[in-house]
Amino acid sequence: MHLQETSKLTPKIIARADHNISRSQISENALKVLYRLKNAGYAAYLVGGGVRDLLLGREPKDFDVATDARPEQIHALFRNCRIIGRRFRLAHVQFGREIIEVATFRAAHSAPVEQDPGHDNHGRILIDNTYGTLEQDAFRRDFTVNALYYDIRDFSVADYVGGVEDLGTGTLRLIGEPYTRYREDPVRMLRAVRFAAKLGFRMHADTSAPITALAPLLDDIPAARMFEEILKLFLYGFGLQAFESLRHFGLFGRLFPRTDAILNTEEQGFPHTFIAEALAGTDARVNAGKPVTPAFLFAALLWQPVRQRAMELETQGLHSGDAVRQAVDEVLPGQIKQVALPRRFSTPMIEIYQLQPRFTQREGKRPQRLMAHPRFRAAYDFLVLRAAAGELDPELAHWWTEIQTGDAAGLASPPAPHAGRRRRRKRRGRRATAPPT
């Protein structure tokens, strides 16, 4: 299906009686936006992932609206609205903590790419504010299952691109010519991986075929945008599957090149499993409704190059703690050119790393001091992952687990060197200064 074919197609309309979407499943605030646009004389459709998930019987995380109203017209209707974006202008209508995103129908750029200031020389879209019709908007979207429109006027669903059929067969299909669409926005390759993993769908052969060859296009994507995509890939309960798919298509190496280089090697004849262990644990936490943090995620994703460099520095005579610090200083600057990492996440990530050498210090009061550290729990969880991946002796992780539960009988560490000698000095000192009898 090519973009220029929109005028030739008649949409498939699924009447209210023939689909499972009910207004009771739609956010009250999204309904307010839809009805206000409709009552003002504008077209108003629920679109994208919200419609897709409702048709699949899932609970949507958010609701997006498409309309023929321009951003300034939307702004005039809603006092709680702000216009965002330059490349792609959108209206955000805010109701407390919920934001309903409202987009004006888009059309394809009519000029050839080489003459169009909205594209760069590789075909990437720089400015995407060419407004159009509902039909044109459907073909501007990325995947068929994300291009379904729920009409608030009669509660029907409009399908211009075969999205309903692809939902039924579990197929993720890119709309349009894949090479062109990926060049327009290379992040669509990451989105293809994400949606396939999230939905449990298989990519259509035409959709997956160009990805490996076009993976280098990700190098030109702003690092801040890549950070947001990483969170969507790895913090929503399907991170391990997404990771495996990213590696299969050669995309992971464009995001984390130093980590990927190490993953292509073996350690003592065994593959590196630390990231897989970390992502499996993260998925389990997400699916159990437990909190996860980007700091821990990035600590896992960057640990292999940091660990390898720290070991090299230790062989050169550096103390383990200093080696970790220097390794972070070498690895992190290059990494954030690919994927941005805000300081609020990089700081705790570095602390997790720096606490790792301290887990080997079990003498005297050191365990108590370490357990009092505000980042202890995250660092301990990291230690357990390292043990599970075979990086260190499981006994060490077991010791720290037991000492936290109070079941550390018999696990007391050996006395610190020369501790008895220090005690004897103190006793002699007390006898020397005691008053004569």
Q: Residue 159 carries which DSSP code?
A: E
- To the query of whether residue 62 is one of the catalytic residues in this protein, the response is yes
Phi, psi dihedral angles at 213 (to 5 degrees): -70, -30
Name the E strands within 70-147: 81-84, 90-95, 98-104
Q: Provide the sign of the torsion angle of the four alpha carbons 66, 71, 76, 81, taken in this order.
A: positive
Contact 187, 143 (CB under 8 A): no
Name the E strands within 121-165: 148-151, 157-159
Catalytic residue selected from 64, 128, 159, 283: 64
Catalytic residue selected from 53, 128, 142, 159: 142
Contact 370, 376 (CB under 8 A): yes
Distance CA 171, CA 194 (A): 13
- To the query of whether residue 64 is one of the catalytic residues in this protein, the response is yes
- To the query of whether residue 142 is one of the catalytic residues in this protein, the response is yes
3-state secondary structure of 153: coil
DSSP letter for each residue of 328-358: HHHHHHHHTTTS---HHHHHHHHHHHHHGGG
Length of the chain: 437
Task: Tell me the angle at which helices 376-388 and 294-315 cross, rounded to the nearest 10 degrees.
Answer: 70
From residue 148, give the alpha-carbon distance in Å to each of 62, 164, 367: 15, 8, 57
From residue 55, give the alpha-carbon distance in Å to each of 4, 52, 59, 145: 28, 5, 10, 10
The structure tokens listed for 205 are: 């052969």
Catalytic residue selected from 62, 120, 322, 381: 62
Residue with tokens 């955000």: 92
Q: Provide the annotated active-site residues.
A: 62, 64, 142
